[in-house]
């Protein structure tokens, strides 16, 4: 996250940020995991989690192993091992169109029961058991699964499909991990607060205000449109690593129109003339 973006996020309405590896680094890391030993993927992931334990982070977001498409039993074993290795809360990432395998409902409910013993440093307080796996980033596209997880109540449901933010919050979901919230973050927070307080009409109005932007930001592969618009705001450089490419000129023009950037620039030029 570049300095201007960090400053933009330091507001009274942004409470956290999700930091990801660059695309090339993810590819290199995945290549390291693809070794002949059957347990190499899980073992290497656990090693990485142990490295992250020393960092001042709030938690870790974990997707199923890419490409190898393990069974549901294998997925349970993989995530249980990672949760055992982690000293931080775990958010499961169900994104089958990227990993090649879905986290089925029974799998998610099994993982929700993962116990973790936390030893107390205070001599008068006994060790306590609490779940290490606390939430799921839901990108599976299954309303049935989303509803079942919300009704079960053990996992916080965070939508990862930005266009589903309104639906998920109305159903009782806990929030979202949303790429489009890099733009107009205060309006996304206003949407969350309105719906959390039961102000449905206000929340609906805010969502319909945001929906055209959300749709445009996913008109081409993420994160190209988001980066293009952040660059138009002067917050970052519009650059991606191959094979990802920058957003097309027509889409960038559309994004600038939605943000009113050209009108702002024209107004500023008129004032300085």
Active site residue 93: yes
- Predicted confidence band of residue 67 (pLDDT cuts 50, 70, 90): confident
Residues of the chain with pLDDT > 90, as a percent, come to 67
Of residues 18, 97, 137, 192, which has the active-site annotation?
137
For residue 246, what is the DSSP state? P
pLDDT of amino acid 261 = 80
The CA distance from 230 to 225, in Å, is 9
Contacts for 10 with CB less than 8 Å, ≥ 6 apart: none
- Predicted confidence band of residue 147 (pLDDT cuts 50, 70, 90): very high
What Rg value do the Cα atoms of the chain yield, rounded? 21
More confident residue, 125 or 1: 1
Q: Look at residue 153 and tell me whether its pLDDT is greater than 70.
A: yes
Query: Residues 228, 246: contact at Cβ < 8 Å?
Result: yes
More confident residue, 160 or 4: 160
pLDDT of amino acid 124 = 42
Active site residue 137: yes
The CA distance from 29 to 266, in Å, is 45
Query: Residues 154, 105: contact at Cβ < 8 Å?
Result: no
- Predicted confidence band of residue 40 (pLDDT cuts 50, 70, 90): confident
The CA distance from 65 to 93, in Å, is 11
For residue 248, what is the DSSP state? P
Of residues 18, 27, 35, 93, which has the active-site annotation?
93
Query: Residues 226, 183: contact at Cβ < 8 Å?
Result: yes
Q: Look at residue 129 and tell me whether its pLDDT is greater than 60.
A: no
- Show me where the domains of the chain are located: 14-177, 181-273
Contacts for 98 with CB less than 8 Å, ≥ 6 apart: 63, 66
pLDDT of amino acid 119 = 41
Of 20-29, 94-103, 104-113, give the lowest mean pLDDT range: 20-29
Q: At what angle do helices 23-33 and 40-52 cross, to 10 degrees?
A: 130
Q: Look at residue 87 and tell me whether its pLDDT is greater than 80.
A: yes
CATH code at 14-177: 3.20.20.70
């Amino acid at each position: 996250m570049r300095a201007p973006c960090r400053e933009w996020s330091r507001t009274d309405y942004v409470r956290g940020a999700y930091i990801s590896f660059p695309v090339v680094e993810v590819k290199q890391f995945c290549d390291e995991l693809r070794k002949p030993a059957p347990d190499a993927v899980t073992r290497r992931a656990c090693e990485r989690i142990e490295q992250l334990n020393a960092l001042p982070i709030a938690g870790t977001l974990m997707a199923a192993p890419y490409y190898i498409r393990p069974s549901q039993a294998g997925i349970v074993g993989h995530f249980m091992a990672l949760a055992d290795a982690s000293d931080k809360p775990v958010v499961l990432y169900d994104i089958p169109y990227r990993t090649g395998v879905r986290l089925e409902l029974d799998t998610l409910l099994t993982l929700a029961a993962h116990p973790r013993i936390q030893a107390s440093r205070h001599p008068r307080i006994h060790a306590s058991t609490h779940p290490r796996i606390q939430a799921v980033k839901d990108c599976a596209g299954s309303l049935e699964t989303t509803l079942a997880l919300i009704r079960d109540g053990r996992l916080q449901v965070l939508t990862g499909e930005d266009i589903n933010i309104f639906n998920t919050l109305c159903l009782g979901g806990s929030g979202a991990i949303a790429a489009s919230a890099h733009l107009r973050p205060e309006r996304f927070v206003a949407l969350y607060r309105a719906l959390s307080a039961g102000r449905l009409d206000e929340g609906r109005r805010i969502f319909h205000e945001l929906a055209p932007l959300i749709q445009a930001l996913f008109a081409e592969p993420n994160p190209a449109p988001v980066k293009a618009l952040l660059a138009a705001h002067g917050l970052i450089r519009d650059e991606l690593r191959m094979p990802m490419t920058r957003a097309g000129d027509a889409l960038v023009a559309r994004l600038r129109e939605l943000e009113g950037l050209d009108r702002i620039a024209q107004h500023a030029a008129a004032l300085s003339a």
